[in-house]
Amino acid sequence: MEPQTQNLKTIPLLSLGRFHISEEYGFLLPNPLKELPDHYRPWMEIANKLPRLIESHQLQAQVNKMPLLTCQFLQSYREQRLAHLVLSFITMGYVWQEGETHPKEVLPRNLALPFVEVSKNLGIPPILVHADLVLTNWTTRDPERNLDIIVSFPGEESLRGFILVTVLVEKAAVPGIKALVQAVNAILQSSQNSLLQALQRLRLSIQDITRTLGQMHDYVDPDIFYAVIRIFLSGWKDNPSMPVGLIYEGVSPEPLEYSGGSAAQSTVLHAFDEFLGIHHSKESADFLHRMREYMPPSHKAFIEEIHSAPSLRDHILSSGNGPLLAAYNQCVEALAELRSYHITVVTKYLITAATKAKGRRPKYLPGPPLAFEERGTGGTVVLSFLKSVRNKTLEAILHQSD
């Protein structure tokens, strides 16, 4: 790493607006659209009936009759984000309609061409990503501002709960993201008091994220998540059910491989890790860096900006400031506790649910997705990855003698 020789005062201050991050909603898209222009009614008609079409095994036939539409009439950024959300849900339903043993290996051109076109416009891959499932897929449905989702899969209330609790997790992270910006600027301006306050706010936000994640237990049934929902989040990279990937007809004669939706595609913890100077094992870091390609480019750029900012750890150690060191360590401990809690949630919803599904198959559930038992939807061997990431977080604890 090159020494910080430049004058810190000459570096421009960090701001969220530069990266299209909302002061109120963070990485969530503020007030997502629910309807596309009338030209795209064939897409919306399918999207609005998606769970029923999948459950009745009619989606593939409906998609095959869909007209080929270009994306030229998508005028705004929010229209493009909704189009990507709609086409990604239709794609996952189309591929996985018949379950993990009979995935569709070719995406028809009337779906593949516009999906790839809007993906290129947005700078994200042509598959369902966290930015679709969560960041663009929320709305308020009544004057009380109760949350609802825009597009759905089979899984009913558990699917809705899974998405909306994750929306609330992103919302709980907003004070932490703002604290991170305050902290970076405090280092640039050599303001120890502002830095201390920012670290305290970051810790509180991380703790709030952990509490919010706990709402999964109230709204998501583990059996339904494992046996019904999870397959629709699964991709075609590192997936034994689709070992060579998916052919996007009219785009490429060769199959393309993309990872499924993953919490690792959320920008939040990437930003916290970069700011706190947490270094993961090569295998984990490689996967995490690959997941950044699944984020909106401005969010990925925000992580890179944090990475290139002056080192918080170096600043604290060189300052000899005890309260700053203690506040930093409390942030690291809170982040490790969040990751430990995430391990317990994943154990309940994947590992324990898989064991139960093997032992007894409820009548209303299809067969368990055997190929996915030890893997997250992003393709990682999930528990070893999560434990490594948690342990490397704890290794970042600072001692005054460091």
Contact between 266 and 144 under an 8 Å Cβ cutoff? The reply is no
Burial class (CB in 10 A: 0-12, 13-18, 19+), 80: buried
Backbone φ and ψ for 103, nearest 5 degrees, come out as: -70, 150
Q: HEC string of the chain? A: CCCCCCCHHHCCCCCCHHHCCECCCECCCCCCCCCCCHHHHHHHHHHHCHHHHHHCCCHHHHHHCCCCCCCCCCCCHHHHHHHHHHHHHHHHHHHHCCCCCCCCCEECHHHHHHHHHHHHHHCCCCCCCHHHHHHCCCEECCCCCCEECCCCCCCHHHHHHHHHHHHHHHHHCHHHHHHHHHHHHHHHCCCHHHHHHHHHHHHHHHHHHHHHHCCHHHHCCHHHHHHHHHHHHCCCCCCCCCCCCEEECCCCCCCECCCCCCHHHCHHHHHHHHHHCCCCCHHHHHHHHHHHHHCCHHHHHHHHHHHHCCCHHHHHHHHCCHHHHHHHHHHHHHHHHHHHHHHHHHHHHHHHHHHHHHHCCCCCCCCCCHHHCCECCCCCEHHHHHHHHHHHHHCCCCCCCC
Say whether 342 counts as a known binding-site residue: yes
Q: How is residue 345 written in tokens?
A: 């949630």
Query: Which residues are annotated binding-site positions for heme b?
Result: 342
Query: Which residues are annotated binding-site positions?
Result: 342
